[in-house]
Chains A and B, each alone.
Chain A
Amino acid sequence: MNDDDLRTAFAQLRESESKDVPPFLSGVPVPSPARHNLRLAFVAALLVLLVAVGYFGRKREVMTTTSISTWRAPTDFLLRTPGRELIDSVPQLTPQIPGGRS
């Protein structure tokens, strides 16, 4: 079998397959300009929404800040050690000596 035989075999295959070619662009959705514009509008609206959320979110954060006099550190509770009440209050020194004068 030489190159010509191979060529003939391929030509026969090509001929038989070319008889049954599906129509061009069958089932291919053709993107219309309106659809493209709609997609662009959606992306633009999404961007505007993101910017708005970012802007107003930051503004609210500024408004809710508390004054320095009432501010408490989030780690304040760590300073509350066990036995703290003994340090905070002065112990009463009124000894009750049995048999002694009161």
Chain B
Amino acid sequence: MTCHTDTLPAALIGSRVMQRAELERELEQLHPASFAWALGCCRRDRDDAEEVLQNVYVTVLDGRATFDGRSTLKTWLFAVIRRKATAYYRIRAVRYALLLRFGGGQASSPVQRSQTDLIGALAQLPRRQREVVELVFYHDMTVDDAAAIMGVSAGSARVHYDRAKKKLRVLLEVKS
């Protein structure tokens, strides 16, 4: 999945009138990737991901979260999604605890089974490890971009990345 928009035009950032229409168009282009990231932040709960993403769009389009052009729009948007998801689950902490036991039904095809295994393995990773590995492997981002989204240093992100890969390998090999 590739990012359609690397940076917004400088004029767009300054002009508030233009910003809304242009921003909507950019958000629409990033929507599939944003939804996939929201799914990752919401432990693959579709309803929660939709709600979080809806909150993000309202926040962004209302101007309560403004893109300052210091990073790519995708990186900034992913960071907003991550923050919103964190806040969402902080409020609904009880439901979050219940969601830890997901991936219940047995998938029929080998591909579906491997996906269920991957989702299950991801669920066992600590939050930062899960996030960095998803951003790199699922969203084709660099570790540095992942660090910016997660709000940690690049070095720290690299440590999480290495540990996540090792742990994922062990978990997936055990399951297979």
Residues on A facing B (Cβ under 8 Å) = 1, 3, 6-7, 9-10, 12-14, 16-18, 21-22, 24-31
Q: Is the CB of B138 within 8 A of A14?
A: yes
Whether A6 lies near B168 (C-beta < 8 A) is yes
What residues on B are CB-neighbors of A30 within 8 Å? 61
Say which size band chain B's interface belongs to.
Answer: 20 to 34
Contact A22 B50 (CB under 8 A): yes
How close is A20's CB to chain B, nearest CB, in angstroms? 8
Q: Are B114 and A12 in contact (CB under 8 A)?
A: yes
Say yes or no: is B36 at the interface (Cβ < 8 Å to chain A): yes
Looking at A16, A24, A27, A30, which has the most chain B CB atoms within 10 Å of its CB?
A24
Chain A residues within an 8 Å CB radius of B61: 28, 30-31
Whose C-beta in chain A lies nearest to the C-beta of B62? A31
CB distance from A1 to the nearest CB of B (A): 5
B38 CB to nearest A CB, Å? 10
The verdict on B39 contacting chain A, using a C-beta distance below 8 Å, is yes
Interface membership of chain B positions 97-139, coded 1 if the CB is closer than 8 angstroms to chain A and 0 otherwise: 0000000000000011011001100000000000001100110
In the assembled complex, which residues on chain B have CB atoms less than 8 Å from the CB atom of A14?
Answer: 1, 36, 138
Q: CA–CA, A13 to B113, complex, Å?
A: 11
Cβ contact of A24, chosen from B27, B115, B169, B173, cutoff 8 A? B27
Chain B residues whose CB sits within 8 angstroms of the CB of A29 once the complex forms: 58
* Complex: A31 Cα to B64 Cα, angstroms: 13
| Chain B residues whose C-beta falls within 8 Å of the C-beta of A21 in the assembled complex | 31-32, 35-36
- Additional 11 contacts, C-beta under 8 A, given A24-B28, A28-B61, A31-B62: A1-B169, A9-B114, A10-B118, A16-B112, A16-B115, A17-B36, A17-B39, A18-B1, A18-B32, A21-B35, A29-B58
CA distance A27 to B58 in the complex (A): 10
Q: A1-B173, A14-B36, A31-B62 are in contact. Are A9 and B57 (CB under 8 A)?
A: no
A6/B169 contact (C-beta < 8 A), A24-B27, A24-B28, A31-B61 known: yes
Question: When the two chains form their complex, are residues B137 and A28 in contact, meaning their CB atoms are under 8 A apart?
Answer: no
B115 proximity list for chain A (CB < 8 A)? 9, 12-13, 16
* Contact between B114 and A28, CB atoms less than 8 A apart: no
A1–B28 touching, CB < 8 Å:
no
Q: Is the CB of A9 within 8 A of B118?
A: yes
A62 to chain B, nearest CB (A): 44
A28: which B residues are within 8 A, CB to CB?
54, 57-58, 61
Q: Which residues of B contact A31 (CB under 8 A)?
A: 61-62
Q: Which residues of A contact B114 (CB under 8 A)?
A: 9, 12
